[in-house]
Amino acid sequence: MKNNFNLELANQLGADDYGMKKYTIAFLKKGPNRNLSEEDATRLQRTHLDNIHKMVENGTLILAGPFLDDGEIRGIYIFNIDSVEKAQKIAESDPAIKAGSLSLEIHPWYGSASLMKVNEIHNQIAKIKI
């Protein structure tokens, strides 16, 4: 495989020599407070999604999404933060976490620095904004 190394892009994305960087990943799990009315659950989901957009816009959140089964783990966050403590503090600002509908399990993670471009690309291919 041909190596098309781009030093400028690697530096822009914060990549190391392997094209990787440190992130923090959070697993969003079912919380203890899941007995909400349909109206309250809908309202909480909207504020949860609005908070996700806010974190993406300020550059702290790289990727988020739900799992499609009905398991204990409901979704993930990948933060552009290499400190578990800082990511924990930011994740705890999520209205669904504050309400106890979701809880967190956070780990340091090492992945491709190319993830830094995922939202730029996503905005070009999504017809409908969530």
Task: Render 67-126 in DSSP notation, one character per residue.
Answer: -SS-SSEEEEEEES-S-HHHHHHHHTTSHHHHTTSEEEEEEEEEEEGGGGGHHHHHHHH-
As a whole number, the mean pLDDT across the chain is 95
Domains of the chain: 16-125 (3.30.70.1060)
Looking at residue 129, its pLDDT comes to 86
Residue 130: pLDDT band (50, 70, 90) is confident
Residue 5: pLDDT band (50, 70, 90) is very high
Looking at residue 44, its pLDDT comes to 97
pTM of the predicted structure, to 2 decimals: 0.91
Looking at residue 17, its pLDDT comes to 97
Tell me how far apart the alpha carbons of residues 113 and 20 are, in angstroms, rounded to a whole number. Answer: 5
Quick: pLDDT tens for 18-40.
999 999 999 999 999 999 999 99
